[in-house]
């Protein structure tokens, strides 16, 4: 109910691809504790949410994103 305005898939609407190197966009889909936000909250479609989850995990492996907040 809170984010009813943003209930459109960010990647479908803007014709973007999920990239694990693009930390700036990934940052939008994780919370303060660096946890991946659920699709319900992000409004991303299921197909892109799956890509997003793997992208965040890949970014974590390459130390582009932290796994936890300090």
Partner 1 sequence: MSKTKKSNIGHYEVLFIVPNRFTEEEAKQVITAVEGVITKNNGEIDYREYWGKKKLAYEIKHNAYGYYALAEFNANKEAVALINQELRLSNDVIRHQIISKHIKSAEEIAKAKVIQEKINARKKEEAKELKEKNEKEENDNKKEKNEKEEIKTDKKSNAKELEQKLEGILNAKDLI
The CA-based dihedral angle spanning residues 18, 23, 26, 28, taken in that order and rounded to the nearest 10 degrees:
-140
Among positions 1, 4, 5, 15, the unique one binding partner 1 when judged by CB under 8 A: 15
Q: Is 28 in the site for partner 1 (CB under 8 A)?
A: no
Count of residues in contact with partner 1, rule CB under 8 A = 14
The span from the CA of 36 to the CA of 38, in Å, is: 7
Question: What residue has token string 């803007």?
Answer: 14
Is residue 65 close enough to count as binding partner 1 by CB under 8 A?
yes
Task: Give the footprint of partner 1 on this chain (CB under 8 A).
Answer: 13-15, 20-21, 58, 60-67
């Amino acid at each position: 109910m809170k984010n009813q305005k943003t209930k459109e898939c960010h990647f479908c609407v803007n014709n973007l691809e999920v990239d694990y190197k693009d930390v700036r966009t990934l940052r939008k889909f994780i919370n303060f504790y660096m946890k991946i936000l659920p699709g319900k909250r992000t409004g991303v479609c299921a197909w892109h949410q799956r890509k997003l989850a793997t992208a965040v995990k890949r970014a974590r492996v390459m130390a582009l994103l932290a796994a936890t907040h300090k």
